[in-house]
Amino acid sequence: EIVLTQSPGTLSLSPGERATLSCRASQSVRGTSFAWYQQKPGRAPRLLIYDASSRATGIPDRFSASGSGTDFTLTITRLEPEDFAVYYCQQYGSSPAYSFGQGTKLEMK
Amino acid sequence: EVQLVQSGAELKKPGESLKISCKASGYNFITYWIGWVRQMPGKGLEWMGAVQPGNSDTRYSPSFQGQVTISADRSISTAYLQWNSLRASDTGIYYCVRFQIAVGWLKYWGQGSLVTVSS
């Protein structure tokens, strides 16, 4: 089973700043089988990024992602107030034995 | 429009059994897998396992193998997550998700079912 470790656990930033979230896999993820999700309190997670770097439908272009192998990054340029939430990474290379990271909380400074 | 509508909140006692449901609509139920994701109170997302409703192929995460049963009834486009004997540690929100085996990103989620196990 692939274990995903996200860092940092909490990120404190102000609106307008740039956020960089990381996710490291315990072993190489097959291809670009990697996704990022945003979750707000009381809501189901929302798909942001799939295939490591493709934005899902309706996701603003201030969200971008990259990575391959064991290291993946989600970047949010120019933070908006609605971006403060918890973010999860997910690998789906070893289908259907998927796994999630433990989450990064993006909080407003 | 793809929709996954889950059953409501449950309050159960330790040792009791439970089966929660996820009714799918807006697509051909047998052409996608349905997975289940647990979120314990204040914690992250955990992949539990999944079922292919077309042939009932079922796969479990090692952490949940033997602890739960995942199934589906294609005649009513509904997937299930079942416990035979609940424990307090089963308390959490359970989400169903739709995905294709070859493209495992999770675009469609149910609204979540809150399960509380308390004596």
Q: What tens digit of pLDDT does each residue of B31-40 get?
A: 999 999 999 9
Chain B 90-109, CB below 8 Å of chain A: which residues? 95, 99, 101-107, 109
What distance in Å separates the CA atoms of residue B8 and residue B6, rounded to the nearest whole number?
7
What distance in Å separates the CA atoms of residue B78 and residue B19, rounded to the nearest whole number?
12
Copy the structure tokens of residue A64. Answer: 């971008």
Q: Looking at beta carbons, which residues of chain A come within 8 Å of B103?
A: 50, 92
What pLDDT was estimated at residue B104?
A: 86
What pLDDT was estimated at residue B65?
A: 95
Per-position b or e across B39-67, b if 16+ CB within 10 A of its CB: beeeebbbbbbbbbbeeeeebbbeebeeb
What distance in Å separates the CA atoms of residue A54 and residue A32, rounded to the nearest whole number?
10
Query: Using CB atoms, which residue from B35, B62, B109 is nearest to A44?
Result: B109
What pLDDT was estimated at residue A94?
A: 81
What pLDDT was estimated at residue B101?
A: 80
State whether B105 and A51 contact (CB < 8 Å). Answer: yes
Query: Using CB atoms, which residue from A56, A88, A97 is nearest to B44?
Result: A88
Q: Is the pLDDT of residue B102 over 80?
A: no
What's the pLDDT tens digit per position in A16-73?
999 999 999 999 999 899 999 999 999 999 999 999 999 999 999 999 999 999 999 9
How close, in Å, is residue B119 to chain A by CA atoms? 25
On whether the CB atoms of residues B48 and B60 are closer than 8 A, the answer is yes
- Please indicate whether residue B66 or residue B102 has the higher confidence score (pLDDT): B66
State whether A99 and B106 contact (CB < 8 Å). Answer: no
Residue of A nearest to B60 (CA): A97
Q: Looking at beta carbons, which residues of chain B come within 8 Å of A44?
A: 95, 109-112
